[in-house]
Amino acid sequence: MSDAPVVLYDTTLRDGTQGENITLSLADKLRVARMLDEYGMPYVEGGWPGSNPKDAEFFKAARSVEWKTAKLAAFGSTRHRLRTADTDPNLQELLRAETPVVTIFGKSWLLHVVEVLGAAPAENLEMIADSVRVVVEGGRELVYDAEHYFDGYRADPAYALSTLRAAIDGGARTLVLCDTNGGTLTAELLRIIGETRAAVGDTASGGGAITWGIHTHNAAELAVANSLAAVQAGIRHVQATINGYGARCGNANMVSVLAGLALKTELPLLPAGGGQLAALTELSRSVAEIANVAPNDYQPYVGRSAFAHKGGVHGAAVAKVERSYQHVDPTAVGNEGRLVVSELGGRANTRLRAQQLGHELEGVVDPATLSTLIKQLESEGLSFEGAEASFELLIRRHQADYRPPFRIVDYTCLVEQRSGADLRAEATVKVEVDGETLHTAADGNGPVNALDAALRKALRAFYPVLDTVHLYDYKVRILDSGAATAARTRVTIESTDGAAEWSTMGSDTNIIAASAIALADSLEYAIWKRGGELRRRDERHFTTLIGGEVAHDIRPD
């Protein structure tokens, strides 16, 4: 057993979709299944064909797919207590799915047997053996999931063991111990695994080695730890989901399990070597994108913050020896190290983060001065962690050749609602560009939208590159809630030109002022980074004569 490879079994498409807000269409499921297959996953559980039409359609569509590495598994339960295995519709649907692997779960806990199924203990054992037998005789590889095994063993060890023996009698050779409620602590989980294997043995009485498996949930935040500990104790079949998606608090995270086994043990593994390990971050984020779930920045190995260093001591050490504060090389899993610029960072963080963004500070900007300024600005409410475009602008503004592309002279925002009419917002802006002050006005669905429209209206005549720029996210953070409506706020704006995205921020006790700062930074960054050249007066005059819009909207003061 100890020489056998650890085999990973992915159940994202079945157990993962039981997570709240995780919904996959038929096309989504096929796409994720292909991605897992291309990655090298040896087993992919596609769903429960007897439970819903979408899963039935998935298995029908899957028959025409040429799978490279994955064995597709259909999932279902033991027969109904009032039916035979040969006539049970769910079991027949499993066989009709025509997958090489069928996974069946049965009840290990008397509470579920008696109070949920309404079956007698002996009757449940017959249901397990009969159901396993009909699948094995149908020529399929059988995986038996012992549901609620650890809870069942705690309640009645003898009965939990008898359910495993019933599965073996039916022909099962892969037995998966499931911590379905996810509350078992690691030491107890290992004790139960050891006692179970000692009682049942690793060889079936009729012949054939038994492969022991583990299936954990994360209710006690131990799913990954329990899975890895089980492997160290001799388990060789591990079930998990990409990004840990699953019911309640989720399943064991396949990404962390795979990376942990591949990078931290010498055990043979399927997929071999952890698969395309350098593509693990991409796989994690692609599945999140398909599931329409924001990637978890703090997810181990693949999260954006997994190798981010914020504290000054950390940053200085990483600058000298990268592995001093990193447990693995981030590039091994397709991620990257990152230095976060903040009030907790020092000169090393500031210098190295600037270098990562393509700026050399030496001889241009003093890193110590810049670091001190950052700490001062963050004490006033700014945060450069989530606004790297504002950080780059801060560097740019401290360079000797810096000339601002525009300057907001003043602005006014009005919001009114009269006599039950729709809310109306209007903004007027005076902007100075190339020695000329222009006055514009615009309406909007709110004061910030109106201010954004007015500012663009003025600048568009000078910088056509702004035509492609638009705001796609806007966040407000109250920094000192105890001050109630007088609280200082921080506004973060996410912008894009269709090819790239960037973040800027502003802070003030006035939310409109904070928004104006973030908006101005966003547009200035676009002008700087997208090569927006100033359009001179004669060029603007030509445009005005052709289109007329500029003459109408922009008035020299």
What is the CATH number for 28? 3.20.20.70
Count CB neighbours of 374 within 10 A. Answer: 20
**Domain shared by 340 and 446, yes or no:** no
User: Whole-angstrom Cα distance, residue 419 to residue 548?
Assistant: 35
| Per-position b or e across 457-468, b if 16+ CB within 10 A of its CB | bbbbbbbebbee
Confidence of residue 550 (pLDDT cuts 50, 70, 90): very low
Residue 148 pLDDT more than 50? yes
Token couple for 205: 């009485």
**Domain assignment present for 38:** yes
Residue from 69, 93, 12, 21 nearest 46 by CA: 12
Q: Which of 379, 397, 425 is the last residue of a domain?
A: 379
**Domain shared by 344 and 317, yes or no:** yes
Please give the average per-residue pLDDT across 484-512, as a whole number.
81
**Domain assignment present for 393:** no
What is the residue whose two structure tokens read 């960037």? 502
Q: Which of 379, 397, 416 is the last residue of a domain?
A: 379
| Per-position b or e across 484-517, b if 16+ CB within 10 A of its CB | eeeebbbbbbbbbbeeeebbbbbbbeebbbbbbb
Q: What is the pLDDT of residues 455-470, one digit of tens each?
A: 989 898 889 888 888 8
* Residue type present at position 165: R
**Domain shared by 70 and 150, yes or no:** yes
**Domain shared by 250 and 338, yes or no:** no
Q: What is the pLDDT of residues 155-210, one digit of tens each?
A: 999 999 999 999 999 999 999 999 999 999 999 999 999 999 999 999 998 788 99
pLDDT on residue 377: 61
**Domain shared by 370 and 419, yes or no:** no
pLDDT on residue 269: 97
pLDDT on residue 371: 63
**Domain shared by 11 and 48, yes or no:** yes
**Domain shared by 173 and 56, yes or no:** yes
User: Whole-angstrom Cα distance, residue 148 to residue 146?
Assistant: 7
Q: What is the mean pLDDT of the chain?
A: 85
**Domain assignment present for 251:** yes
Residue from 99, 161, 105, 165 nearest 131 by CA: 105
Strand partners, 424: 416
Number of structural domains the chain divides into: 3
Residue 529 pLDDT more than 60? yes
Q: What is the pLDDT of residues 250-271, one digit of tens each?
A: 999 999 999 999 999 999 999 9
Task: Give residues with Cβ within 8 angstroms of 489, minimum separation 6.
Answer: 381, 476, 477, 478, 479, 507, 508, 509, 510, 511, 514
**Domain shared by 171 and 251, yes or no:** yes
Which range of residues forms the domain containing residue 329? 308-379
Please give the average per-residue pLDDT across 508-517, as a whole number.
89
User: Whole-angstrom Cα distance, residue 490 to residue 206?
Assistant: 69
Q: Which of 264, 290, 316 is the last residue of a domain?
A: 290
**Domain assignment present for 1:** no
pLDDT on residue 545: 32
**Domain assignment present for 300:** no
**Domain shared by 224 and 344, yes or no:** no
**Domain assignment present for 96:** yes
Q: What is the CATH number of the domain that holds 444?
A: 3.30.160.270
Question: CA 25 → CA 54, 149, 282, 321, 507, distances in Å?
Answer: 8, 32, 21, 46, 42
**Domain shared by 90 and 33, yes or no:** yes
**Domain shared by 51 and 169, yes or no:** yes
Residue 554 pLDDT more than 80? no
